[in-house]
Amino acid sequence: MTVIEKQTLIGKAIPKLDGPKKVTGEARYVQDIELPRMLFAKILRSSRVHARIVRIDTSAARKLPGVHAVITAADTPGVPLGHGKDNPPLKSDKVRSLRDEVAAVAAESEDIAERALSLIEVDYEDLPAVFDPNAALLDDAPVIHESHPDNIPFTYEYSQGDVGQGERDSDVVIEDKFTLHFVTHCCMGVSGAVAQFDADDNLTVYSQTQVPFLYKKDIAPIIDVPPEKIRVIQPSIGGGFGSKLDIYPFEPICILLARATRRPVKLTFTREEEFLASPTRQPVELTLRSGVKKDGTLTFRDVATVHDNGAYTSWGATTPFVIMQTISSLYRVPHCSYRTTVVYTNNPYSGSFRGFGNLQATFAVESHMDKLAEAVAMDPLAFRLQNAQQPGETTPQGMVFRSCGLAECLTTAAERSGFVEKHARYSRYGRGQNGQGGPVKRGVGIASLLHVGGGAKIYRSDGCGTMLKIDDYGHVTVLTGASEIGQGSETVIAQFVAEELGLPISSISVVNDDSELTPWDVGVHASRTTFIAGNSAQRAARKAREKLLAAAATKLELSAEELDLREGNVTRADTGEALLELPRLIRSLHFAKKSEVVMTAEYYEPPSVPQDKEFKGDVSASYAFGTQVVELEVDTETGVIRIVKVTAAHDVGRVINSLGIQGQIEGGVAMGMGYAISEHLLVDEGVIQNPCFRDYKLVTAPEMPEIDMHFIETLDPEGPSGAKGVGEAPAICIAAAVVNAVYNATGTRFDSLPLTPERVLRRLKNHA
Amino acid sequence: MSLEKEIHFRVNGNLTSVEVPVTMNALAMIRDRLKLTGTKRGCEEGECGSCTILVDGVSVNACLMFAVDCDGRDLTTIEGIRTAEGLSPLQKLFVEEWAVQCGFCTPGMVMQGTYLLSQNREMSVEDIKRGIEGNLCRCTGYKKVIAAIAGALHATPRRGEEKEDS
Ligand code: FES
Ligand code: FES
C-alpha cells in the first residue's frame, strides 16, 4: 500500500513562477512587443509651464516622408481623463505644466517621429504661473483651471470626538509643521503601450495598467471606443508601485494614432521623459497639533494639510483617505480633527505611489510621537505601547481590527534590536555628554504603521473573480483577474490552489494577462491581491476539491469526509493510503454517462463597507501593522547618513510564501530609505531639474543595511489561510524611524526630507 | 542619411554580420536589429545597468558602446546564458531565491553576476555589493540578488563562468 503524507505549501519558500522567463530574457515587456506594420509614436510636450496655445501648425511635420499621422486636440473626442477628469489627452486651449501633451506623431521609426516633432510649430502666449500651493490659494493667484477659480479641486474634513475637550484634558500640547517633497516611482521599465485595431474595429492594447478592467471603462469615452470592443493584454510589467493605477495621456494618444493610421502603433518613453512626464508622490505640508496627559495618554490630534496637486488631478488628490486613517487610528486618540486642501499649481501632478499618502502621514505622526514621549519623559517604546491599538478594537473612524499585532510588532522590533537600552545610551553619547567624541554619531529610531491589508472598498465592489479548470492530466489552469506586476501574486495564487487540490505547484498555470479571458477584478492597489485574489482562488479551488471528492466517494463507495487529495492522488484522509490517481478520476468524469468537466468559478467580495460621508466605516477587510527600528550613523562632518540595520516586525496575518514576503519587505525598506535619505525630484518653477539616475539617487546595493525581519502571524479571521496584504506596508514608516534615529544621534530633529548630506550638514551647522 | 558600416562579430556563439549606422549604440543593434530583446533599455545613459552584456567576457553597458565597435568581438547577451542543459546555476538561484520581482533589471543583474563569478570565485558579500553597484533595481532591495550571486559561488561553475586564464 502506498501511503502519502499530508504536506502543506503555505508558508513555504516556493520559487517564483515567472522566474525562469525573467532570468532568461524571455519575458516580454511593452518595449519588446513588435507587430507587423507597426509604427512608432512620439509626443510633443509643452515648452511653457502655463500658457495659452495660440496656434499649432503641423503642416511641415505631415509632409515629412515616413510620417503617417500627426494629431492634435482637434483629432480627439475632447473628453478629459484621469481621476479628476480634468486632463485632456491633448491640450487645445492652454497648457498648465511642462509635461502637457500638445501634439503627437506616428511614423515609420522613432527617429522620423522625433524629427517630425521638431517641425511642429506652436505659438504660446505665456500666462502668470504659480508653483507654491499656499500662493495658489491667494485671491489674486493665477487660475489654473477655469472650472475652479479658487484653484481648489478637493477639500476633505474629518472629525471624531471633540478636539476642544481633548485640549482641556491635556497636560502638554505640541504643534509641528512637516514638509514632504516630490519623489517619483522610477519603475525600471519605462512607460509605454502598443495599440492595434482589427478590421472589425476591435481594439487590442498592450498596456502596463495595473487595473485592466476599470481601465476599459475609463479609457472608452476618451478614445470613443465602447468598452466591450477593448481587449487589454498586459505583457510583463517593469514595475508598478501604484504608477499604473490611472490612465495618462500617452495611452489614448497611442490608441488614437493607431486608429488614424489603421496600423499598430507603439509608444515608449525615454528615461528622461519618464522622469518628466510620469506621476509623482504628492508633496504635502502638514501641520500637526496634539496633546498628551502626564501619564502618557494621548488626548487629541488636530491636523491641517495642504497638498500640491500639480496641474491635473490623478490619484494623488485622494491620498487624504489614507492619511486620515493613520492620524485617527494608528494609536488610540479620542478626539481628532483633520482638514485638507488640495491645490492646483503649475507643477507636475501626483499619482498613486506605494503607501498612498501614508509615508507622509506616518512621517509626521511618528516624528511627533517621539516628541510627545520626550515631553512626558517616557521612552518612545513605552509611550507607543500605552497608546497602541489592540485586537478587537473598533476605532472612532469605524475600522474594525479583527486582528491586530501592533503591540507585538512594537515589542518584537524593540527587543530584537535592543532599542530601549541603545536609545538611552546613544542619546547621552550623541549630545556629547558621555564619550563617543568622534564626528560619527550613532542613533536608533522607532516608528510603526497602520495600512489597509485587505483591500479598500472605494468602488461598489472590491472583489476579484477566479475561474479554474482541471484537465485530464491533472493540470490546473487558474484564470484570475489579479494582475502580476512583479510582486508575485501569480505564485501566491498558485500556492493557494495547489494546497486545496493536493497538487505540486508545477501542476498549476496561472493566466492573468488578458482581459478577454480573465474574470473581473478591481486591480492591484490597497495591498489587496494576496487577500482578495487569494481568497477568490482558494474558494474556487475548494469548490473543485468538493466536486472531486464527491465523485471519488461515489466511485470508491466511501464518504467524501473519509477522503483527501494528496500529491495528485485521492487518498484516505486518516491513513494517507493512495486509492486513485487524480487524472484517472477526471477522465472517468469526462467519459461517464452523464459526463462533465471539472471547472469552477468564484467571485470573492470582501465584507468591507464603503466609508460614509463623514469618512467613517470599516473600509478594509483587514488591517496591516508593523514596526521598524532603524540604527544609523550620522557623520557630522560630511552629513552622510549610513543606515546600519533595520529591524522590521510586520503583522502579516500569516506567511504564505516566505521568500515573497521577505522580498516585499526588503524592497519596501529600500524604497522607504530612498524617500528618507536620497531621493528628491527637484522641481524649480515647474521645471524638473534632475531627470536622470545620475542626479536622482535611488538606493544602490552597497547602501543596503542588514535587515532583521520578524513576521507576526495574527491569523486574520477573514484572510486566506489567515494572511493579510503587505505590499505597501514595508515602505511606510522607515522615514520616520530614520528621523527619530538622527535625533537620537545628534539632538537635531528634521521636519522635512530627504536627509541628503547637504541638507543634514546645513541643518547641523545652524543647530550648533 | 547617416553613414552605415558592415560589421562581423560573434553573438552567443554564432557568427553574425549586420550593417549599422555609425551613430547606433550596441543596445539598439542588439534589441532592434538582432531582436535579442532580453537585453533591456532602462535609461540609455549608462546609469542603470539593465543593458549589461559581455563583450569578450567583460561586462559592458551596451547603451554606452557604439555598435560598430562590436566588429570582431565576441558578445554574450542574456539569451546566451541558458544552454540546452538548462538554466545556469546563477539563473537557477535567481529563481529559487526570488531575486526577481518585476524582472526588468534581471537580465542585467544576471549578466553582471555571471561576469563577477567569472572573475573571482572568492568574493565577499561586500565585493558582490560593490560589483552590482551599477545595476539599479527598484523592486527587490538587492538582498536576494546578492544572496543568489553568493550562493552561486558554491555551485559548480559552468563554461563561461570559470576564470579564463589568458
Ligand atoms: S540602459 Fe544602459 S545603463 Fe541603462
Ligand atoms: S526586479 Fe524590478 S527592477 Fe529589479
The domain that holds A295 is classified in CATH as 3.30.365.10
Q: Which three cell numbers stand for residue A71?
A: 494629431
Distance CA B45, CA A363 (A): 34
Question: Do B74 and B113 fall within a single domain?
Answer: no
Residue B158 has pLDDT above 70, yes or no: no
Decide whether any atom of ligand 2 lies within 6 Å of the B12 Cβ: no
**In 3-state terms, what secondary structure has residue A322?**
helix
For A118-248, where are the E strands, in sequence order? Answer: 121-126, 154-160, 172-179, 183-184, 192-197, 203-206, 230-233
Question: Do A296 and A273 fall within a single domain?
Answer: no
Q: How many Cβ pairs closer than 8 A exist between chain A and B?
A: 175
In this structure, is residue B160 part of a structural domain? no
What pLDDT is stored for residue B89 in this prediction? 97
Q: What is the mean pLDDT of residues A174-200?
A: 98
Closest CA to A422 of A430, A432, A412: A430
Q: What is the mean pLDDT of residues B57-75?
A: 98
Q: How far is the CA of B49 from the centre of ligand 1 (A)?
A: 5
Question: Do A426 and A523 fall within a single domain?
Answer: no
Residue span of the structural domain in which A512 resides: 19-26+463-604
Residue A54 carries which side chain, given as an amino acid letter?
A: V
Question: Do A72 and A207 fall within a single domain?
Answer: yes
* Residues A188 and A245: beta-carbon distance below 8 Å: no
What pLDDT is stored for residue B164 in this prediction? 44
Question: Do A260 and A289 fall within a single domain?
Answer: no
Question: Do B51 and B98 fall within a single domain?
Answer: no
* Secondary structure letter of residue B64 according to DSSP: G
How far from the centroid of its chain's Cα atoms is residue B12's Cα?
A: 11
Distance CA B94, CA A138 (A): 55
Instruction: Give the up-direction half-sphere exposure of residue A263: CA atoms within 13 A in the CB hemisphere.
Output: 18
In this structure, is residue B51 part of a structural domain? yes
Question: Do A497 and A600 fall within a single domain?
Answer: yes
The domain that holds B115 is classified in CATH as 1.10.150.120
**In 3-state terms, what secondary structure has residue B54?**
strand
Q: Which three cell numbers stand for residue A333?
A: 486618540
What pLDDT is stored for residue A429 in this prediction? 67
Q: What is the mean pLDDT of residues A450-465?
A: 94
In this structure, is residue A179 part of a structural domain? no
How far from the centroid of its chain's Cα atoms is residue B72's Cα?
A: 18
User: Does B104 lie at the interface with A, CB-CB under 8 angstroms?
Assistant: yes
Please tell me the distance in Å from A487's CA to the nearest CA on chain B. Answer: 6
Query: Can you give the pTM of this predicted structure?
Result: 0.96
Residue A235 has pLDDT above 50, yes or no: yes
**CB atoms A28 and B37 under 8 Å:** yes
Distance CA B33, CA A478 (A): 37
Q: Between A663 and B154, where is the model more confident?
A: A663
- pLDDT above 90 covers what percent of chain B? 89
User: Does B52 lie at the interface with A, CB-CB under 8 angstroms?
Assistant: no
Q: What is the pLDDT of residues A483-498, one digit of tens each?
A: 999 999 999 999 999 9
The cell 535611488 sits on which residue?
A698
Q: What is the pLDDT of residues B71-92, one digit of tens each?
A: 999 999 999 999 889 999 999 9
- pLDDT above 90 covers what percent of chain A? 95
Q: What is the pLDDT of residues A271-300, one digit of tens each?
A: 999 999 999 999 999 999 999 999 999 999
Residue span of the structural domain in which B9 resides: 4-80
* Domain edge (last residue) among B54, B80, B106: B80
Closest CA to B62 of B27, B99, B34: B27
The answer, yes or no, to whether the previous bond of A754 is cis (omega within 30 of 0) is yes
Query: How does strand A39-45 pair with strand A265-268?
Result: parallel
In this structure, is residue B163 part of a structural domain? no
Distance CA A93, CA A100 (A): 12
In residues, how long is chain B?
166
Closest CA to A552 of A540, A560, A542: A560
In this structure, is residue B136 part of a structural domain? yes
Question: Do A527 and A434 fall within a single domain?
Answer: no
Q: Between A237, A669, A692, which is nearest B102 by CB?
A: A237
* Number of C-beta neighbours around residue B128 at 10 A: 26
The domain that holds A123 is classified in CATH as 3.90.1170.50
In this structure, is residue A561 part of a structural domain? yes
Banded model confidence at residue A594, pLDDT cuts 50, 70, 90: confident
| Closest chain A residue to the Cα of B101, Cα to Cα | A486
Question: Do B69 and B113 fall within a single domain?
Answer: no
In chain A, how many H helices and how many E strands? 19, 30
For chain A, the average pLDDT equals: 96
ipTM of the modeled complex = 0.96
Distance CA A13, CA A596 (A): 36
* Number of C-beta neighbours around residue B6 at 10 A: 10
In this structure, is residue A183 part of a structural domain? no
For B84, list phi and psi in degrees, rounded to 5. -60, -25
Please tell me the distance in Å from A698's CA to the nearest CA on chain B. Answer: 8
What pLDDT is stored for residue A432 in this prediction? 46
Question: Do B57 and B105 fall within a single domain?
Answer: no
Q: Which three cell numbers stand for residue A104?
A: 503627437
A320 conformational bin, left if phi > 0, alpha if psi -120 to 50, beta if neither: alpha
Query: How does strand A476-480 pair with strand A683-684?
Result: unpaired
Residue B56 has pLDDT above 80, yes or no: yes
* Residues A361 and A336: beta-carbon distance below 8 Å: no
* Domain edge (last residue) among B50, B80, B110: B80
How far from the centroid of its chain's Cα atoms is residue A89's Cα?
A: 24
Point out the least confidently predicted range of A20-34, A300-314, A418-432, B1-15.
A418-432
In this structure, is residue B149 part of a structural domain? yes
Residue A428 has pLDDT above 90, yes or no: no
Question: Do A346 and A447 fall within a single domain?
Answer: yes
What pLDDT is stored for residue B160 in this prediction? 53
In this structure, is residue B107 part of a structural domain? yes
Give the H or E element holding residue A571. Answer: strand A569-572
Question: Do B70 and B116 fall within a single domain?
Answer: no
**CB atoms A670 and B132 under 8 Å:** no
Q: What is the pLDDT of residues A597-653, one digit of tens each?
A: 999 999 999 999 999 999 999 999 999 999 999 999 999 999 999 999 999 999 999
What pLDDT is stored for residue A436 in this prediction? 58
* Residues A314 and A147: beta-carbon distance below 8 Å: no
Q: What is the pLDDT of residues A113-133, one digit of tens each?
A: 999 999 999 999 999 999 999
In this structure, is residue A114 part of a structural domain? yes
Distance CA A674, CA A669 (A): 9
Q: What is the pLDDT of residues A663-715, one digit of tens each?
A: 999 999 999 999 999 999 999 999 999 999 999 999 999 999 999 999 999 99
* Domain edge (last residue) among A577, A604, A631: A604
Query: What's the total number of domains in chain A?
Result: 3
Residue A435 has pLDDT above 70, yes or no: no
For A271-413, where are the E strands, in sequence order? Answer: 280-281, 284-292, 298-310, 335-344
Distance CA A449, CA A362 (A): 7
In this structure, is residue A627 part of a structural domain? yes
Banded model confidence at residue A766, pLDDT cuts 50, 70, 90: confident
What pLDDT is stored for residue B55 in this prediction? 98
Question: Do A226 and A322 fall within a single domain?
Answer: no
Question: Do B65 and B99 fall within a single domain?
Answer: no
What pLDDT is stored for residue B166 in this prediction? 35
What pLDDT is stored for residue A1 in this prediction? 82
Query: How does strand A230-233 pair with strand A203-206?
Result: parallel
What pLDDT is stored for residue A431 in this prediction? 54
Decide whether any atom of ligand 1 lies within 6 Å of the B136 Cβ: no
Closest CA to A526 of A467, A464, A466: A464
Question: Do B68 and B97 fall within a single domain?
Answer: no
Question: Do A485 and A448 fall within a single domain?
Answer: no
Burial A81-110 (b: 16+ CB within 10 A, else e): bbbbebbbbbbeebbbbbbbbbbbbbbbeb
* Number of C-beta neighbours around residue A588 at 10 A: 16
Q: What is the mean pLDDT of residues A44-48?
A: 98
Residue A242, C-beta contacts closer than 8 angstroms, at least 6 positions apart:
A185, A210, A315, A351, A352, A353, A354, A356, A525
A303 conformational bin, left if phi > 0, alpha if psi -120 to 50, beta if neither: beta
Chain A residues closer than 8 Å to B124 by CB? none
* Domain edge (last residue) among B33, B51, B80: B80
In this structure, is residue A12 part of a structural domain? no
Indicate which atom in ligand 1 lies nearest the CA of residue B64. 2
User: Does B149 lie at the interface with A, CB-CB under 8 angstroms?
Assistant: no
The domain that holds B29 is classified in CATH as 3.10.20.30
Question: Do B65 and B108 fall within a single domain?
Answer: no
In this structure, is residue B166 part of a structural domain? no
Residue A434 has pLDDT above 60, yes or no: no
Question: Do A286 and A432 fall within a single domain?
Answer: yes
In residues, how long is chain A?
768
**In 3-state terms, what secondary structure has residue A758?**
helix
What pLDDT is stored for residue A381 in this prediction? 98
Query: What's the total number of domains in chain B?
Result: 2
Question: Do B27 and B66 fall within a single domain?
Answer: yes
* Domain edge (last residue) among A277, A300, A328: A277
Closest CA to A357 of A340, A343, A345, A372: A340
Mutate to test the interface with A, among B34, B36, B39, B98 (most CBs of A within 10 A): B98
* Residues A212 and A262: beta-carbon distance below 8 Å: no
Closest CA to A239 of A272, A276, A274, A214: A274
Question: Do B102 and B134 fall within a single domain?
Answer: yes
Distance CA B133, CA A567 (A): 43
Question: Do B105 and B141 fall within a single domain?
Answer: yes
Helix A320-329 × helix A358-375 angle, to 10°: 20
Question: Do A379 and A520 fall within a single domain?
Answer: no
* Domain edge (last residue) among A584, A604, A624: A604
In this structure, is residue B162 part of a structural domain? no
Residue A430 has pLDDT above 80, yes or no: no
* Number of C-beta neighbours around residue B60 at 10 A: 21
In this structure, is residue A170 part of a structural domain? no
Question: Do B8 and B75 fall within a single domain?
Answer: yes
Residue A383 has pLDDT above 70, yes or no: yes
Question: Do A733 and A626 fall within a single domain?
Answer: yes
In this structure, is residue A65 part of a structural domain? yes
Q: Between B35, B45, B140, which is nearest A667 by CB?
A: B140
